[in-house]
């Protein structure tokens, strides 16, 4: 064997060790979660409480391993299926013959099968193919297997898959994002055709168009979704709402500090911020802070925050405040840490016993699953005098995390919310001539 062959063999051996380690990790996580579930059952808890205990265990495992909670939940389900229903594949995974991605893909196929004998057939036949082909090839094999062994359930599976249709956005580097849509294949084929036709037509419209076909297709998609041709009756591009979390000096071109979106995922460089500031229809929102940069507070009378306060809270939190959860604040519940009391006793409460104010210091964003765990008592949370939260789990106490935990704090003062429908570029130029950032908005009355 040549030295080069030895290196390749070493790479294969290392891969097998990694894949076997993935299986051991998955087994340990499954045992941890199942032990928590068994303990809850032993205590005679209700089915809802048992499931809550399982979800808290998954959250703890995710925090310990620095993984997304959804990933750990899927890992637990897939590992249970492998251990119980696919012993041949599971043994191969433990030996390092297949990696975690392939094992999870096989398990997800087993979930779609209706007859136990077909699950057994899958277990007995798939490993030989999985160990000698790529993940993409394995996915094709599994799709063919499904159709071949259970053709009568194809319509049912298609309807179930159709119910899962969705659109997701993933933030990438350099001001770009990935837009993905899970939609029916028949629609995708039509969209693919129309994008190509529109791209070719736009490129041929001028003689100096240097865009590639791929670039023109991307532009055609954006133009179609945003109605840039102005043929539709919708509002078109709409207003671009930017949560500015840096000094005003950046907007005025006097600082290189970047801007960050409310969920903390999108970084906006100073040049892009200046471009947006000059764009007609752009809406900037400004949160007033104290001298230390802390967010100032506001209290309202009703249970539900008004739109200005809700928008301010979106910018303060950005995401669900459970560590590891990245659900944007716009998709979360606004939770009163001290419950809102719609029927206070006559004459009010004694000093120090006021309950549930609709105030920024008492309002926190929690996604519906985590909000539910907190409401049912499966997760507990406490707050210090500045409103900073701490979550208490069976094995640890952890600081709440939001998109701007390290940048902002809550203060018991008044917050003013200022909106500017259009920032006149002449205003920026005027401030630059004066050599200072100044203020670019009139204070709210």
pLDDT, residue 46, reads: 94
Least confident of 200-209, 321-330, 342-351, 423-432: 423-432
Least confident of 63-72, 128-137, 214-223, 314-323: 314-323
Residue 352 backbone class (left: φ over 0; alpha: ψ -120 to 50; beta: rest):
left
- pLDDT band for position 400 (50/70/90)? confident
pLDDT, residue 315, reads: 73
What number is the average pLDDT over the span 317-334? Answer: 84
Q: Are 98 and 135 in contact (CB under 8 A)?
A: no
Q: What are phi and psi of 15, to 5 degrees?
A: -60, -45
Which residues are within 8 A (CB) of 180 and not within 5 positions of it... i.e. 6 or more apart?
A: 167, 168, 169, 170
* Strands 241-243 vs 177-182: parallel, antiparallel or unpaired: unpaired
Residue 20 in this model has a pLDDT that exceeds 70: yes
Q: Are 398 and 381 in contact (CB under 8 A)?
A: no
Question: Exposed, middle or buried: residue 204 (CB in 10 Å: 0-12, 13-18, 19+)?
Answer: exposed
- pLDDT band for position 54 (50/70/90)? very high
What number is the average pLDDT over the span 422-429? Answer: 41
Q: What are phi and psi of 5, to 5 degrees?
A: -60, -35
Indicate the SS3 state at residue 418.
Answer: strand
pLDDT, residue 399, reads: 85
Note the pLDDT tens digit of each residue in 67-90: 999 999 999 999 999 999 999 999
Residue whose token pair is 């082909």: 133
Provide the Cα torsion 324, 325, 328, 329; round to 10°. Answer: -100
Q: What global pTM score does this model have?
A: 0.68
Torsion over CA: 308, 364, 262, 430 (sign): positive
Least confident of 90-94, 273-277, 297-301: 297-301
Indicate the SS3 state at residue 255.
Answer: coil
If residue 433 lies in a helix (H) or strand (E), which one and from where to where? helix 425-434
> What percentage of residues in the chain have a pLDDT greater than 70?
67
What number is the average pLDDT over the span 222-242? Answer: 59
pLDDT, residue 115, reads: 94
Question: Exposed, middle or buried: residue 25 (CB in 10 Å: 0-12, 13-18, 19+)?
Answer: middle
Torsion over CA: 325, 409, 174, 201 (sign): positive
Give the Å distances, CA to CA, from 398 to 324, 366, 375. Answer: 11, 15, 18
Indicate the SS3 state at residue 283.
Answer: strand
Residue 291 in this model has a pLDDT that exceeds 80: no
Which of the listed ranges 29-43, 211-225, 349-363 does the model predict with the highest average pLDDT? 29-43
Structure tokens at 47: 């089915």
What number is the average pLDDT over the span 433-438? Answer: 40
Q: Which residue has the higher pLDDT, 186 or 285?
A: 186
- pLDDT band for position 233 (50/70/90)? very low
pLDDT, residue 352, reads: 44
Q: Mean of the per-residue pLDDT values for the chain? A: 77
pLDDT, residue 439, reads: 33
pLDDT, residue 105, reads: 96
Residue 191 CA from chain centroid, whole number: 26
Q: How many CB atoms within 10 Å of residue 107?
A: 24
Residue 337 in this model has a pLDDT that exceeds 60: yes
Indicate the SS3 state at residue 167.
Answer: strand
C-alpha 287/C-alpha 301 separation (Å) is 20
């Amino acid at each position: 064997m040549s030295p080069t062959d030895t290196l390749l063999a070493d790479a294969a051996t290392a891969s097998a060790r990694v894949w076997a380690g993935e299986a051991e990790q998955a087994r340990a996580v499954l045992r941890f979660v199942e032990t928590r579930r068994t303990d809850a059952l032993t205590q005679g808890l209700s089915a809802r409480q048992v499931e809550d205990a399982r979800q808290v265990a998954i959250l703890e495992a995710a925090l310990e391993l620095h993984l997304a909670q959804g990933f750990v939940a899927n890992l637990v389900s897939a590992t249970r299926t492998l251990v119980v229903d696919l012993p041949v594949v599971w043994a191969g995974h433990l030996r390092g013959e297949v990696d975690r991605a392939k094992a999870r893909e096989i398990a997800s196929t087993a979930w779609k099968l209706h007859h136990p004998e077909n699950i057994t057939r899958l277990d007995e036949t798939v490993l030989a193919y999985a160990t000698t082909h790529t993940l993409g090839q394995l996915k094709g094999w599994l799709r063919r297997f499904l159709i071949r062994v259970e053709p009568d359930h194809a319509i049912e599976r298609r309807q179930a898959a159709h119910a899962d249709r969705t659109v997701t956005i993933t933030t990438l580097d350099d001001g770009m994002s990935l837009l993905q849509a899970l939609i029916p294949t028949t629609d995708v084929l039509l969209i693919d055709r129309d994008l190509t036709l529109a791209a070719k037509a736009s490129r041929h419209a001028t003689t100096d168009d240097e865009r590639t076909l791929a670039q023109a297709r991307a532009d055609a998609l954006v133009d179609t979704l945003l109605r840039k041709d102005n043929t539709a009756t919708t509002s078109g591009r709409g207003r671009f709402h930017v949560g500015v979390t840096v000094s005003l000096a950046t907007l005025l071109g006097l600082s290189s500090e970047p801007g960050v979106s409310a969920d903390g995922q999108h970084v906006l460089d100073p040049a892009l911020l200046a471009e947006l500031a000059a764009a007609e229809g752009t809406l900037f929102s400004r949160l007033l802070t104290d001298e230390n940069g802390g967010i100032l507070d506001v209290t309202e009378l009703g249970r539900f925050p008004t739109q200005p306060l809700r928008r301010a809270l979106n910018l303060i939190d950005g995401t669900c405040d459970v560590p590891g959860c990245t659900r944007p604040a716009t998709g979360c519940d606004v939770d009163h840490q001290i419950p809102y009391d719609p029927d206070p006793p006559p004459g009010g409460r004694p000093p120090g016993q006021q309950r549930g104010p609709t105030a920024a210091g008492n309002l926190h964003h929690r996604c519906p699953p985590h909000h539910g765990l907190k409401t049912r008592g499966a997760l507990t949370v406490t707050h210090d005098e500045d409103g900073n939260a701490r979550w208490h789990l069976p094995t640890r106490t952890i600081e709440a995390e939001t998109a701007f935990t390290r940048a902002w704090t809550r203060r018991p003062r008044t917050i003013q919310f200022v909106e500017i429908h259009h920032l006149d570029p002449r205003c920026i130029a005027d401030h630059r001539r004066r050599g200072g950032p100044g203020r670019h908005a009139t204070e709210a009355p």
